Structure 1
């Protein structure tokens, strides 16, 4: 099931052989879907095959009580008509309000600017997931333009950066974004037109219009005019299009389809240039790998400005698909699922981990009789999964897990998780609870989210699976980190990807483009992977995230953090180290169970606050002992034990919103910078105190002599993956 095909005689010094999908050994798509070469053609093909089918779904919003009702649907033909009218209207808007010289010509001579960028125009799209988001992108494609997903998270100024860096002059957005855009119009001098996805007369309420009225939008219009910005709504642009219809100007395969900004885990944002050819190739690869049925209902909630959700949307668009958009509030996600009853979900570990915590607490981790029954049921379903390949169990599904399945709508048959490795316990729990495939995939913005994926029915955990159809992967050695790709025992190295899904480069960044795009068409991903014994590939870590300590040991923090976070007292864990320090230290956000435990550890004093408990040296010392016992129980090497801990009473998202990327990956550099003083204090405490009577910031634990036993061999990677 897991084994990738190894291309014969493809080994090279310092590299593994080339791996491919076992059903596509020649490295191509076997001419399947060869007639579809652009994302606009993907949509047109769907229109031709399913003209009257329900296509885009939106939950009815009731402003009087702030609640949502059932989904209402646009058919494929209705969507086509709206795309045509809005696209024609956009042609008129650009012709009237955007000067010809603004057509990206000003950056024509910049490094990292392809010819397609200079001859095409971009349409900014600034909203949470909704039908109008996809309609706007398809209308841009119809008119030979490309989309730019504008991001309003991860720090002040991000939206302005996206608009300025991409040079967009027209932005389609939800009404709630308009005041912010006008407030900061001085920071986006190239902005000429704002198109509201919501009616400016407020005659059709949505969740984005709650704070507005006809009088407030009149003020917005006047303010926009004073700033030299044209403010229209989508209905007005559609009316222009109906009065001034234009012929479609379908894109070519080498045209840009989107400028997508990377999540920024390693620092500065990068504008990833995606062509229609590359994105369509990735979508074809995905549908060939998954082979979804003739009728698929999909919930779109992962932000569309990232490639992951659009990758899924355009892949499944090859089939008969209904796309229901979430209500716009993450707290309503399960409610959206119950209303839509999706059959396919894409998700990220952050979402599944949160759901797992809540569901496990009520089922397999409950102390009641119901918890005991749930644990028996879970064990029986896991055994059936291992033996038969499916976890369906008539008795235990009816008694225990049918309620969990109904929380997800009751019809889910495939859950695809990407963006980061998923804990095996969480993956198995949802396989058993939902009686469906829960598989992991791997991709980057630079590969249009495509790369590797587990095959349907794969029961393994901790793996990325095999390459997508038509995609080549291999590993190359990283000698300075001790990773040897051509090792006979455990091949490890940087993951390289090659195929039609690879991006065209970074906008205005020729240096980083050249560093990422290697000779032979290979993309250097910056991720470390290994070839597993079963023939699949597993992600080890990001190269930039590996910690080298003063003992010349390389520590992979993220797998270790997942191990520590399994402790009942831990919510989230961040490990920190330095080439100037011998030990690891930890930043821990405690779990809910911490409060009662810490109150007892503090001597039963009158209910102090969580912040007070986290600050008490005695609590920190007791907490660190718990971590050491936990690490010993897991069999972690001494070099992976933490020597001091800083307890943070608040979730990291509450401390600084810039800690997470748009795909909820942790920005490790941002955490290190924010807590630099705390980490310095931990190391000072280690230096100043003995291990027996440490009185600093929790610096107790394994002695230097004990830790030194792990450093007998230099340049050794500590791995717990």
Structure 2
């Protein structure tokens, strides 16, 4: 407790000395056009870095072995069996049971690869929604020094062909529905390297059997490999720290996928940083009693890195059923203590709760407002609990996520202060926001556990250096005052080794000194915290030479209760910006009835009503100015789109980031019509 109090004192500073969260280092000579690298201040202030349980873990295999030793009989992986279309309670596999299944599957998988007649790459594809078998297969790869290559559950056919052929992948672990797609491609002679398909399903269904007949591809079940490995066990083949652990293909928003090579050391580095932050009093820590809901794509590095951390702690991971439409049913059944999310999901929870708070009795609304303001004041002192208000006002809200959440994680896009405060107040949770890329093996910065500010993504994870590099063409400089700006560059243990079979792209972003140039533009604030301005490629210039950061504007627009999603666009030959808006269905139907006399109109009718579109423009102008947007950042025309952007319709990546190029092409006609209407 004393160390935490000392850390709190250093962090918060006083009236004379403001808190500083990151500090400059002067080990390297100063370089023109670059800011000094900054590192985590808490780590620097520690006279000697504390030893943690993760300090001497040398591989992901050893990390799992550590968990089995410390949490052997505790629940490890949980899923809900479905009988006659009804999901039952979670069924759990213990760590010790999980270890035996990993050994059996890994032994069977090694034998399977050895049985392929011609020489093959030791590459294993993982292609399914999140489920226990995914983790078992991945851990087996680490235990037997195989390279796992995750494939996005919603990957397009062309990208799938590209990845499998570039990696010369001989084996894929998947499900029956995807096996049919793979076999169809094999029959078309588009996957010459694929030799084995391993089905996570219990049996090989008739259609898969029929499709595989006559093809040079064998189909086995997961259980068959486990049984073979049980009869013919093999000793683990421990990887080195510099061994390739995985090749993660970025979904990206343009171009062909790039395979990011991540080593065992890369994959462990964030975990080590997280447990170090706990020791330094800057992170609330992971416990073996924690329960985590896994629904963000395992093919993305954040979810895998998070699960590596949870495994180290001996915590429990429960999997959703694979359908986000019934995610909250799984959450209610699981009652997680740690909930990961993206701003879009948190915004929806915020809007529903705050809207409901105004629809009860006058007395009820007054009590809610009093409770909310009281807890909001307490946030200044780092307090998220309140014995009275939590029990009589916020307990019902907490039940929306099962009632036990103590930690919430957010990333992938900016989140507003209002929503951050809301999460801390209504769920009594510690909320951490991170920023990172596949190339940095998830987070390169994370918010400090003792800092409840908003509008930043925190400070470098211990072990990483972050600097800003000038972009003269955009008038962005690391010497800007009061806030230095520039392209975010990072160096350290989590930075990837390069793109698979792509030295040109590697050289374009990874320099000779080991700095990875992220392509994101950032800014340091006066207390050493990093804020993200936007992707360098996303920023555009209007005809009057003003630069527009669209993500910043979209984030503000999505705080309006009528807006569910937004895509901001600007033509470099025009002096203003326009937006495609997906309205929040319930909110806009009510608003249109009350203010636009749109009685009995459907959402489609409302979206097509030109008077309503003009009224929305006025609403968003007022909202934008109230939230600090400049005149040139105000949208001058909107197209109301009744269908949400989604992974399925190709407008979002699997982590819910907007695909700008695809959105621009998809709405090309509407964009032209908006600009034509402004003449």
Do Structure 1 and Structure 2 share a fold, with TM-score over 0.5? yes
Aligned residues of 1:155 and 1:657 also touching (Cα < 8 A): no
Q: Distance in 1 between matches of 2:522 and 2:201?
A: 45
**Aligned ranges for residues 182-581 of structure 1 at < 5 Å?**
182-185=183-186, 186=188, 187-200=190-203, 217-289=205-277, 290=283, 291-363=285-357, 369-386=363-380, 388-581=381-574
Q: CA deviation at 1:548?
A: 0.6
Matched, 1:667 2:659: yes
In structure 2, relative to structure 1, the CA distance for the partners of 1:76 and 1:530 (3 Å cut) is same
* SS of alignment partner, residue 465 of structure 2: strand
Q: Distance in 2 between matches of 1:184 and 1:599?
A: 51
Q: CA deviation at 1:154?
A: 5.3
* SS of alignment partner, residue 620 of structure 2: helix
Deviations 1:232-289 (A, max 9, x none): 1111111111222222212122221111111303443211111111111222122322
Q: In the alignment, which residue of structure 2 is the partner of 1:41?
A: 62
Q: CA deviation at 1:649?
A: 1.9
- Kindly report the root-mean-square deviation, in angstroms, between the aligned alpha carbons of the 2 structures: 2.3
Q: Bigger shift: 429-438 or 138-147?
A: 138-147
Identify which of 53, 70, 73 aligns with 2:74.
53
**Aligned ranges for residues 543-622 of structure 1 at < 5 Å?**
543-592=536-585, 593-598=587-592, 604=598, 607-622=600-615
* SS of alignment partner, residue 213 of structure 2: helix
Matched, 1:683 2:671: no
Q: Distance in 2 between matches of 1:562 and 1:39?
A: 37
Q: CA deviation at 1:102?
A: 2.9
In structure 2, relative to structure 1, the CA distance for the partners of 1:365 and 1:123 (3 Å cut) is farther
Aligned residues of 1:364 and 1:375 also touching (Cα < 8 A): no
In structure 2, relative to structure 1, the CA distance for the partners of 1:418 and 1:623 (3 Å cut) is closer
In structure 2, relative to structure 1, the CA distance for the partners of 1:405 and 1:618 (3 Å cut) is closer
Q: Distance in 2 between matches of 1:48 and 1:557?
A: 49
Aligned residues of 2:414 and 2:555 also touching (Cα < 8 A): no
**Aligned ranges for residues 648-667 of structure 1 at < 5 Å?**
648-653=641-646, 657-667=649-659
Q: In the alignment, which residue of structure 2 is the partner of 1:17?
A: 36
Q: CA deviation at 1:547?
A: 1.7
Q: CA deviation at 1:25?
A: 2.3
Q: Distance in 2 between matches of 1:549 and 1:629?
A: 22
Q: Bigger shift: 538-547 or 25-34?
A: 25-34
Q: Distance in 1 between matches of 2:611 and 2:402?
A: 47
Q: Distance in 2 between matches of 1:29 and 1:135?
A: 33
Q: CA deviation at 1:374?
A: 2.0
- Structure 2 unaligned spans of 5+: 1-10, 12-19, 278-282
Q: Distance in 2 between matches of 1:458 and 1:556?
A: 26
Q: Distance in 2 between matches of 1:257 and 1:422?
A: 32
Aligned residues of 2:287 and 2:315 also touching (Cα < 8 A): no
Q: CA deviation at 1:600?
A: 6.5
Q: CA deviation at 1:636?
A: 2.6
Q: CA deviation at 1:323?
A: 1.8
What is the TM-score of this pair, normalised by structure 2? 0.90
What is the TM-score of this pair, normalised by structure 1? 0.85
Aligned residues of 1:129 and 1:303 also touching (Cα < 8 A): yes
Aligned residues of 1:272 and 1:507 also touching (Cα < 8 A): yes
Q: Bigger shift: 176-185 or 75-84?
A: 176-185
Aligned residues of 1:154 and 1:660 also touching (Cα < 8 A): no
Aligned residues of 1:348 and 1:418 also touching (Cα < 8 A): yes
* SS of alignment partner, residue 466 of structure 2: strand
Q: In the alignment, which residue of structure 1 is the partner of 2:124?
A: 123
* SS of alignment partner, residue 25 of structure 1: helix
In structure 2, relative to structure 1, the CA distance for the partners of 1:596 and 1:479 (3 Å cut) is same
Q: CA deviation at 1:167?
A: 2.0
Q: Bigger shift: 132-141 or 558-567?
A: 558-567
Deviations 1:671-709 (A, max 9, x none): 01111122122222223xxxxxxxxxxxxxxxxxxxxxx
Q: Distance in 1 between matches of 2:632 and 2:361?
A: 35
Q: Distance in 2 between matches of 1:190 and 1:371?
A: 64
How many matched pairs?
Answer: 649
In structure 2, relative to structure 1, the CA distance for the partners of 1:36 and 1:46 (3 Å cut) is same
Q: CA deviation at 1:225?
A: 2.6
Aligned residues of 1:151 and 1:158 also touching (Cα < 8 A): no
Q: In the alignment, which residue of structure 1 is the partner of 2:137?
A: 136
Q: In the alignment, which residue of structure 2 is the partner of 1:696?
A: none
Q: CA deviation at 1:666?
A: 0.7
In structure 2, relative to structure 1, the CA distance for the partners of 1:530 and 1:52 (3 Å cut) is same
Aligned residues of 1:150 and 1:163 also touching (Cα < 8 A): no
Q: Distance in 2 between matches of 1:195 and 1:140?
A: 14
Aligned residues of 2:539 and 2:548 also touching (Cα < 8 A): yes
Identify which of 619, 624, 633 aligns with 1:626.
619
Deviations 1:79-106 (A, max 9, x none): 111111111111221122x343332xxx
Q: CA deviation at 1:651?
A: 1.4
In structure 2, relative to structure 1, the CA distance for the partners of 1:412 and 1:626 (3 Å cut) is closer
Q: Distance in 2 between matches of 1:172 and 1:9?
A: 47
Aligned residues of 2:129 and 2:153 also touching (Cα < 8 A): no
In structure 2, relative to structure 1, the CA distance for the partners of 1:558 and 1:366 (3 Å cut) is farther
Aligned residues of 1:309 and 1:346 also touching (Cα < 8 A): no
Q: In the alignment, which residue of structure 2 is the partner of 1:716?
A: none
Q: Bigger shift: 356-365 or 321-330?
A: 356-365
Q: Distance in 1 between matches of 2:605 and 2:583?
A: 13
Q: CA deviation at 1:669?
A: 1.2
Aligned residues of 2:72 and 2:96 also touching (Cα < 8 A): yes
In structure 2, relative to structure 1, the CA distance for the partners of 1:488 and 1:682 (3 Å cut) is closer
Q: CA deviation at 1:531?
A: 0.8
Q: CA deviation at 1:550?
A: 0.8
Q: CA deviation at 1:467?
A: 0.8
Q: CA deviation at 1:472?
A: 0.8
Q: Distance in 2 between matches of 1:280 and 1:140?
A: 15
Q: In the alignment, which residue of structure 1 is the partner of 2:7?
A: none
Matched, 1:147 2:148: yes
Q: In the alignment, which residue of structure 1 is the partner of 2:15?
A: none
In structure 2, relative to structure 1, the CA distance for the partners of 1:418 and 1:667 (3 Å cut) is same
Q: Distance in 2 between matches of 1:408 and 1:622?
A: 36
Matched, 1:89 2:108: yes
Aligned residues of 2:488 and 2:519 also touching (Cα < 8 A): yes
Aligned residues of 1:297 and 1:343 also touching (Cα < 8 A): yes
Q: In the alignment, which residue of structure 1 is the partner of 2:25?
A: 7
Q: CA deviation at 1:459?
A: 0.8
Deviations 1:391-449 (A, max 9, x none): 21122111211112222222222112122221221111111011111110111100110
